[in-house]
């Protein structure tokens, strides 16, 4: 994550005295309606008959939060939710049918329909009961202690992920997705960045590559993060429907969703604002942080998927290779943000294990949870930008109250 991306997530406070008053702060309260069941009829019907989305042309209101040239009317998704069947299983079936149609004949309209259905299904899937235990860790299958925890995709299991996180804080997986598929998604991200800039200039972007998603009313406030995601070198995946569905296709097709479900022992969901398509420029510095410090109490697992070679010719990840069971001290020394950790504190946390910056190829990945201390590893001398997907999974029993859910 780049330092600009750390500005103003929900609940963030900035030390104005330390920063001379330049940054300010934004607080957004937890949405009390986030876990309420949605109104819905008991009369099931197909998505084709219910689809009521209308496209409308809008001009960006200001440079940091543009409305896409093609958007979905905000009220329509709530109307759709009211008409959908009550059963989560039935909604799952409708998503599967629509995915199959999309595989046969991809269209922008089906991508939008899938995004809306996945969001409604995610909201319906939230539970409030006790959480199950995580999978049992498989320590015997890990490399020897002291080595960087790394496995090939063919050897990956939920138990290995759990063991690596408990012992070292993270797990590198080589070749998690095929190289050509990773490179294709990187090309799409470059296009999404270009189309967003068109929208910011008041031009019409290419449909599917930048359309600001309008979620259910209970989650509208959650997408106030758009301007700061842009500052940090990212596009929210739901704002690029074509890429969001491609990404979810990778997750399901290559068994990643099943791995995460096995790890959590419950249904995993992703979120509207912590599923980010990233393009990291070498001149933008990183900022040490632990994501759990601003997520609240969650059951989380992050998939950080590299879509280009990084760590040497483009920004990678700097990692403290140690399991931390606490949040380290924040906002000291040069760290002015309330969730930012200074270089000195990061080095203290690493102890006798040096901070690492691994080299990744397209399709390589890292799994870690909310406790890992890390930052974007950038250097202005690097000649290329880095492309990646940051995809946080959350257990449906402890989903962050300020985030909008999305089913995969």
Q: Whose structure tokens read 């005295």? A: 17
Helices (H), 158-233: 158-168, 179-200, 226-231
Report whether 269 contacts 300 (CB < 8 A).
Answer: no
Q: In whole numbers, what is the pLDDT of the chain averaged over residues?
A: 85
What phi and psi values does residue 58 have, to the nearest 5 degrees?
-135, 150
pLDDT over 60 at 1, yes or no = no
Q: How confident is the model at residue 75 (pLDDT cuts 50, 70, 90)?
A: low
Pick the CATH number of 3-407 from 1.10.1040.10, 3.40.50.720, 2.60.120.620, 3.10.200.10: 2.60.120.620
Q: Over the stretch 215-224, which tens digit does the pLDDT of each residue have?
A: 999 999 889 9
Tell me how crowded residue 184 is: count the other CB atoms within 10 A of its CB.
14
Strand ranges in 47-142 using DSSP code E only, listed in sequence order: 55-56, 71-72
Q: What percent of the chain has pLDDT over 70?
A: 82
pLDDT over 60 at 35, yes or no = no
Q: How confident is the model at residue 129 (pLDDT cuts 50, 70, 90)?
A: confident
Question: What is the C-alpha separation between 117 and 80, in angstroms, rounded?
Answer: 9
Q: Over the stretch 223-278, which tens digit does the pLDDT of each residue have?
A: 999 998 999 999 999 999 999 999 999 999 999 999 999 999 999 999 999 999 99
**Bridge pairing between strands 170-174 and 374-377:** unpaired
Q: Over the stretch 319-334, which tens digit does the pLDDT of each residue have?
A: 999 999 999 999 999 9
pLDDT over 90 at 209, yes or no = yes
Sequence-ordered list of residues with C-beta below 8 angstroms from that of 185, at least 6 positions apart, any chain: 243, 246, 247, 250, 307, 387, 389
Determine the distance from the C-alpha atom of residue 200 to the mean position of all C-alpha atoms in its chain, rounded to a whole number. Answer: 23
- pLDDT given for residue 74 in this prediction: 42
- pLDDT given for residue 19 in this prediction: 36
More confident residue, 61 or 174: 174
Q: What percent of the chain has pLDDT over 90?
A: 77
HSE value, Cβ hemisphere, 13 Å, CA-based, for 11 = 14
Stretch (H or E) spanning 387: strand 386-395
Q: Over the stretch 149-198, which tens digit does the pLDDT of each residue have?
A: 999 999 999 999 999 999 999 999 999 999 999 999 999 999 999 999 99
Q: Over the stretch 353-376, which tens digit does the pLDDT of each residue have?
A: 999 999 999 999 999 999 999 999
More confident residue, 1 or 145: 145
């Amino acid at each position: 994550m780049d330092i600009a991306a750390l500005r103003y997530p929900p609940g963030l406070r900035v030390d104005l005295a330390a920063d001379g008053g330049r940054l300010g702060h934004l607080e957004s309260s937890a949405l009390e309606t986030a876990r309420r069941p949605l109104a819905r009829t008991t009369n099931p019907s197909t998505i084709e008959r219910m689809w009521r989305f209308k496209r409308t042309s809008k001009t960006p209101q200001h440079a940091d939060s543009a409305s896409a040239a093609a958007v979905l009317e905000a009220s329509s998704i709530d109307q759709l939710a009211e008409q959908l069947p009550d059963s989560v299983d039935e909604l799952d079936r409708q998503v599967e049918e629509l995915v199959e149609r999309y595989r046969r004949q991809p269209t922008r309209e089906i991508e939008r329909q899938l995004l809306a259905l996945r969001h409604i299904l995610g909201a319906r899937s939230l539970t409030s009961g006790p959480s199950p235990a995580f999978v049992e860790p498989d320590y015997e299958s890990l490399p020897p202690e002291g080595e960087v925890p790394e496995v090939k995709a063919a050897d990956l299991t939920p138990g290995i992920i759990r063991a690596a996180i408990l012992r070292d804080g993270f797990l590198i997986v080589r070749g998690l997705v095929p190289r050509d598929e990773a490179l294709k998604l990187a090309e799409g991200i470059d296009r999404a960045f270009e189309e967003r800039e068109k929208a910011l200039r008041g031009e019409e972007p290419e449909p599917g590559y930048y359309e600001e998603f309008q979620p259910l009313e209970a989650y509208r406030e959650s997408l106030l993060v758009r301007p700061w995601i842009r500052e940090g070198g990212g596009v929210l995946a739901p704002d690029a429907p074509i890429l969001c569905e491609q990404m979810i296709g990778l997750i399901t097709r290559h068994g990643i969703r099943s791995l995460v479900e096995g790890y959590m022992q419950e249904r995993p969901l992703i979120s509207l604002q912590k599923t980010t398509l990233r393009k990291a420029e070498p001149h933008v510095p990183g900022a040490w942080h632990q994501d759990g410090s601003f997520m609240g109490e969650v059951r989380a697992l992050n998939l950080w998927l590299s879509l280009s070679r990084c760590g040497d010719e483009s920004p990678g990840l700097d990692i403290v290779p140690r399991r931390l069971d606490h949040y380290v001290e924040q906002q000291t020394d040069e760290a002015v943000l309330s969730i930012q950790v200074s270089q000195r504190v990061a080095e203290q946390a690493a102890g006798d294990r040096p901070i690492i910056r691994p080299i990744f190829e397209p399709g390589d990945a890292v799994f870690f949870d909310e406790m890992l201390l890390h930052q974007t590893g950038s250097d202005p001398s690097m000649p290329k930008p880095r492309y990646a997907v940051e995809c946080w999974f959350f257990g449906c029993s402890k989903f962050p109250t300020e985030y909008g859910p999305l089913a995969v």
